[in-house]
Amino acid sequence: MKALYKSAPGAGFEFVERPEPTPGPAEVKIRVLRTGICGTDLHIEQWDDWAASNIATPLIAGHEFYGEVVEVGPLVHDVAVGDRVSGEGHVVCGMCRNCRAGRRQMCIRTLGVGLHRDGAFAEYIVIPGENVWVHHSPVDPEVGAIFDPFGNAVHTALAFSVVGEDVLVTGCGPIGLMSIAVARHVGARFIVASDVSPARLELARQMGADDVVDVSKERVREAQGRLGMREGFDVGFEMSGAPAALPEMIENMNHGGRIAMLGLPSEPYAIDWGKVVTHMLTLKGIYGREMFETWNSMSAMLQTSSELRGRVASIISDRYAARDWREAFDVAASGGVGKVILDWTEV
């Protein structure tokens, strides 16, 4: 099979022939049809300090995918040859305290598909049967390929109730944008989005934001005034990891506000912990997706809302044949774009 392969530490991938994987008794083999390029994949391709300290080679990267089941191990249930599927990229141990309590997304021994085991930048992938998500309702292959990041957005947006609440979203990358669409779908009152990219702020409006803030030019508080908000925000989604984002979010939260944090900080930064305490704020870290309640929620929402389906699909900005992976990665790394998709039917 053709695959994007990193044979040794260092920048780049090789687009080469690799042996097709063979599924074990509890595994499923999937013909990959589409993959999404994630920021993590860019780190691995560029082989920056994070990748050098977290990734072992040789490796086939890639964890956002949609495909067709071609082989099922004898111990796998509820997955059949021919099923159209996506995959949960976190492979858990099943034996730690959290796994045994049904909190598999908090497994202490999680391994990542495309990080710690071969991933989806290939014509075929093998994953555990329990990690397969079968699409029982029709879904566009490109949307199916971004179920992983869409799940991050849904996990964040549903971490706290947003019905009738005022929501602040800091960071309008693809996941932040999808979280805006989910908050609008669920029933938030006002949604304000902040970023430093005019193009992404315009996309935030298209996702359903009531107002946007270019934080290189103005402050979040000005949007509150434009919307006639008498108090601070009830719920915050910190999606950027930017050093200034969380402190400004805390500054603009209502007493008792709740903050879901998905963005990974790029560097340490100061927080007014006195305000966190005296304003009784809740900060909750978000990682991946709840397994598998988030998957059920996103499938149900897309099945029942054409508006949400359209907004999620509009996040996809560029499409390339898998053989043109170099150009696709360069576009994804350029910033200011949505999700970039590789088509593995064109190798």
Of 211, 212, 182, 184, the residue nearest 196 (C-alpha) = 212
Q: How far apart are CA 149 and CA 193, in angstroms?
A: 18
Q: Which residue has the tokens 């009738």?
A: 164
| Active-site choice (35, 40, 170, 294) | 40
Q: Are 311 and 208 in contact (CB under 8 A)?
A: yes
Judged on CB neighbours under 10 Å (0-12, 13-18, 19+), 194 is buried
| Active-site choice (43, 63, 90, 135) | 43
Contacts of 295 (CB under 8 A, 6+ apart): 88, 133, 147, 151, 289
* Alpha-carbon distances, residue 45 vs 5, 9, 50, 122, 157 (angstroms): 10, 10, 11, 15, 30
Structure tokens of 151?
Answer: 């799940």
185 is catalytic: no
Q: Which residue has the tokens 């969380």?
A: 246
Q: Are 134 and 292 in contact (CB under 8 A)?
A: no
136 is catalytic: no
Whether the upstream peptide bond of residue 149 has omega within 30° of 0, thus cis, is: no
Read off φ and ψ for residue 147, nearest 5 degrees: -65, -30
Q: How far apart are CA 324 and CA 93, in angstroms?
A: 36
Catalytic site positions? 40, 43
